[in-house]
Structure 1
Amino acid sequence: MSSEHHSYSVSMNPSPAEGELSVLFSGEAQPMGLHKIGPAIHDYYLVHTVLSGRGEFIIRDTSYPCVAGDTFVIFPGELFSYQADEREPWSYVWVGFIGRGADDVMSQVGATPHHPVIPGSLNPNIRSYYDKLIGCYDSAALPELANLEAGGWIRLLLQQFGVARKKLEKNHPESTAAIDLVIKQAIQYLTLQYTQPISIEHLSGMLGYHRTHLCKLFKQSTGLSPSQYLLNIRMQRAESLLASSMTIEQVASSVGFGDALYFSKKFRKWRGQSPTEYRKALRTPPKRSKDPYRLN
């Protein structure tokens, strides 16, 4: 046991499996006052749930005081640090994991670098799932079966965090000012980045929202989904570019479409004409109706 801890235990996965989610280790500790980790960067997710006491978690230059019942998430590639309170040092349980499905799962849970703390996320189920994770490798005769068991417990644990996040959102809805700011930021991003491949999933995570929740707020504010709003920006810009001498391929690329045929399909649906037909109509002078009173 480290001299910086009153108690410390960790259970390591001797043979992490490749898959959607793979637990690396899980443990429990009661550090001494002012015990600090970081600044550091991990290449895996590391989730801590505070059992008692208090401490501070810092990510992206933002400090989050955490108390019993709070869960804070360390994200791969993000600089972080955390420190126990001097008078009431926290105790916590933790689990580290990786996997090609980890990003999507955490997005569904609603935990992002902008919203890395889930308050009120400790209940008997969560404590039990941590215990199962900590214990499943200690007596495992076959690592493959232990991986299978741990994969089930980590999913149940993360599901409980998602439930806690939903309860938090329901009990503490965003203020109108906060929502307006987020929508303004989303619109600014779409307006400036429309020439690039844009993932609404990435945009949601960047703003600290689950995709479904952001789309709901965005549509309430603008009447359109983010994808529809982006398409409008692209098509309106395409209309102006079609008046130039650019090729259809160049226009498509300039408004964020790598495939000119797909762009043409979207433009026809938008305008009721293909890009070529629209360009031809722009270049054809409108016919003037004959004035019956004009002398020829």
Structure 2
Amino acid sequence: MPDSLRAWHPPVPSVREVYRAAFDHAYPPHAHDGWAVMLVDDGAVSYDLGRASHIAAPGAVTILPPGISHDGRSAVDGTIYRKRVVSLDSEWLPERMAGLSVSRPTVRSVAAVSAAKRIHSALAEPGDLLAAEHWTLAVRQLILLHLGTGERRVEDAPLSRRVRSLLDERFTESFTIAEVATELGVHPSHLARSFSQTYGLAPHQYVLSRRVDLARRRLLEGAAPASAAAEAGFFDQAHLTRHFRRILGTTPRAFVSQ
């Protein structure tokens, strides 16, 4: 596998940069001013964080805190490793988490690994930035649980009803969970968790459901798929088709031709 590196900045709250790399580069000791969430897909990375040595390998999430020195190299000399990293603002986690994460940078939770992978899957599809934001918040909560500081249950039905009302008004528009949370005066993580507990699905899933319902009605009224996609708030017709098939098991064109 040849060396490769791709980096970009998606317009997702708290996310500074996403990059994917496949190489055997050895990083000298350095520090960042934000958090990093790393997945290793192939090979393994040996690194020193603070005064301890660790291995980042497939099947775990590695968290690197801001302001603390770390390095990195292939765990096997001459062997390429493949990794995916999401770089986040320093405020993504409370400041006190930096010290706790130094001794516990490896999160082996299946849920955390799955959520981290879903960030990258969402970013790979045009129009799914709201899903990427949701999974970033999910990873945040799972890391807090890993460090022993997260809340396992949140009950806030009144907030959830307010959120649903706002989503019902704006589901065809472009917005972020962070914007809704700011308007309601709560943290995005609290908003997402309370909504999910109350209604059984995440905010972005609720929005997609509403969009598919509207597109379906417009298709039955005779609208072309591209027009229905635009009216319902999808990025484009392909974005509509992907989620229409996932939810209803068929494509928009097949739906109206049966």
Please, what TM-score do these two structures have when normalized by structure 2? 0.47
Specify the structure having the higher radius of gyration (Cα). 1
Please, what TM-score do these two structures have when normalized by structure 1? 0.42
